[in-house]
Amino acid sequence: MFNVVLVVALAAILYTVSLWVSSQQKPVSFPPREPSLLPWIGSAIGFFSDPHGFLARCHKRHGSVFSVLLGGRNVIVVSSPVAIFSIYASEIAVPSFTHNQVFRAVIGREQKRTKFNLERDIFPVLDQALSRRALGDLTRSLAQTMFARIEHLTRVQEAQIPIMPLLTKPLYDALNVILLGERFASGTYEDFNILDATMPKRLTGEPFWFFPSMQARKRISSHLLDYVAGSQGENEGLIGGKFIKALQESDVPQNEGTCHLLVFIWGTHANMQGVLVWLFLFLLMDPVALNALREEVDGAIKDIFGDLHGFLADANPDNLDGPHFALLTSAIVETMRLTVKIMGLRVATRDFDLKDGDREIPVRKGELLMGNVDAAHSDERSYPDSQKFVYDRFAHCDQREGKWPTEGKPWFSMGSGRHVVSFLFLRLHICIDVFRWHEQCKGKYMAMYELKVSAILYLHLFHITPVGGVPAPWWPLPPQRRIIGIPHAEEVIVQVRPRHSTKQGVICDRFSGHTLD
């Protein structure tokens, strides 16, 4: 027995020494590789089970640049702002996540081969319709249509409502009316959320029981098929008629066109819902921030618009920008910094050296590049108390019209560079909005104004408090919680009371007519 133990011990010593010798003889590779025991699979299990936790641990071990093996592909991960921007701005590294992959995740199959080309047929429409200078009619219509759906709550003494439908159903319905027109029937909100809740697993190919979301998708598709097959009139919304025309000109069958339109609808709504809910959850946890934003909104409505009626009539981009909404803009940008968990992948089309400050990172053709935006957004040198919601963190930055108050800080929540396919619009849950990310996010202005209009209405009209008193902090999230894209928020029941005893409904009757069911 003793001899056996001695032999095993000697073998272990010899093996350890041989590893040490070989490591001394082998040059240190750059970037350093995260070790893994499994060939080909590499670190895929650890990464996909907890993407952000896995990357955080690797960042702590290796620093701002390292590589990992994921399913036979070498992935170079960088977290310095310079390197992340270099990836997204590079002509050599192209997006590895395609419209077809998003299509397959939402629809459950590959798109059929047609002449329809998203970039050629739809991007020009979005360039024109969603540019900042063209958004005045949209933002005014959004304010009026949303108010029409929440005005009834100003007439009740109080109500208890889950915060998710309270904040997002009016926005969902209003935006559908604006983009697709009145002919697209309402009543798809619940089914949309059922489908959206499964998107993280759909996008990563994780097996799960699809039946509820398949039924929800089937019901939404039925509405959309009626919409696509119906007569095309003048009231087809800002995007709907042009989208259908592009499909028809490419001879896309109606059933297939319905699928493309459903993917568009998912990309339009998913992340905005998550950002809006998290903005209010952060405010509910921070009464000082909530009161400061409410005072700013009340003051701006009085000084800029005169009253609520004036806001609804003239909620255009010029009035929504500038220093009078500096705290609100800052709070929205801070919410995105914390919650938009981007992990955009790009693939190198040839060998090149990636610039990272004074050093260069060797990249080989076919390797994947990942910008670890979460690490950049959590850098204490750029963002002291980086895990905290600091509502005025960006309030003293440049507040010029049409500008983002993030200059000088690493902030990638709205993308960067050419053809960015990012995980924002999304509770993007991996959120990839291929419709809004080109050059930079095509819908970045519309996204900000959607959030501003929604927040202004709720802050000005209502007291919103969690049922049961001050909640335990929802943030930071538990470290073991898996996050892909914007984290799911736990459902919170809130008490809603009107803030004004005056007859808001009488003042604004011409904007009312629809209610939150």
For residue 3, tell me if it sits in a domain: no
- pLDDT confidence band for 129 (50 / 70 / 90): confident
45 assigned to some structural domain = no
The residue among 342 and 5 whose pLDDT is bigger is 342
pLDDT tops 70 at residue 501: no
C-beta of residue 203 within 8 angstroms of C-beta of residue 484: yes
62 pLDDT tier (thresholds 50, 70, 90): very high
Domain annotation covers residue 34: no
| Structural domain boundaries, residue 481 | 71-498
**Separation of alpha carbons 321 and 330, rounded Å:** 11
- Residue 268, in any domain of the structure: yes
Q: Per-residue pLDDT tens for 106-116?
A: 998 999 999 99
Closest alpha carbon to 64 in 352, 339, 374, 420: 374
| Secondary structure (3-state) at 101 | helix
Per-residue pLDDT at 24: 46
Confidence check: pLDDT of 477 > 80: no
Q: Could you tell me the two tokens for 46?
A: 């650890």
What is the rounded distance in angstroms from the CA atom of residue 475 to the CA atom of residue 30?
36
Q: What is the pLDDT of residues 343-383, one digit of tens each?
A: 778 999 999 999 898 899 999 999 999 999 999 999 999 99
Q: What is the DSSP string of 258-307?
A: HHHHHHHHHHHHHHHHHHHHHHHHHHHH-HHHHHHHHHHHHHHIIIIISS
Peptide bond into 476 cis (omega under 30): yes
The yes-or-no verdict on residue 429 having pLDDT over 50 is no
Give the burial class of 254: count Cβ atoms within 10 A of its Cβ; 0-12 exposed, 13-18 middle, 19 or more buried: middle
Handedness of CA 128, 131, 132, 136 (dihedral sign): positive
Q: What is the per-residue pLDDT for 347?
A: 93
At residue 4, what is the residue type?
A: V
Q: How many domains does the chain have?
A: 1
pTM: 0.86
| In-domain check, residue 137 | yes
Count of C-beta atoms within a 10 Å radius of residue 452:
22
CATH of the domain at 482: 1.10.630.10
> Rounded mean pLDDT of the chain?
82
Of 110-124, 204-218, 378-392, the one with minimum mean pLDDT is: 204-218
**331 within domain boundaries:** yes
Rounded CA separation 392/375 (Å):
21
How much of the chain, in percent, has pLDDT values that exceed 70? 81
Percent of the chain scoring above 90 in pLDDT? 52
Q: Evaluate whether residue 52 is within a structural domain.
A: no
Instruction: Tell me the Ramachandran region of residue 350: left when phi exceeds 0, alpha when psi lies from -120 to 50, beta otherwise.
Output: beta
Is 5 contained in some domain? no
Across residues 374-395, what is the average pLDDT?
A: 94
15: pLDDT strictly greater than 50: no
- Whether 87 shows a pLDDT value over 80: the answer reads yes
In angstroms, rounded to a whole number, what is the distance separating the alpha carbons of residues 439 and 427?
21
pLDDT in tens, 275-302: 999 999 999 999 999 999 999 999 999 9
In this predicted structure, the answer to whether residue 433 has a pLDDT above a threshold of 80 is: no
Peptide bond into 170 cis (omega under 30): no
Q: Are 70 and 47 in contact (CB under 8 A)?
A: yes
Give the angle 324-311-189 at the CA atoms, nearest 5°. 105
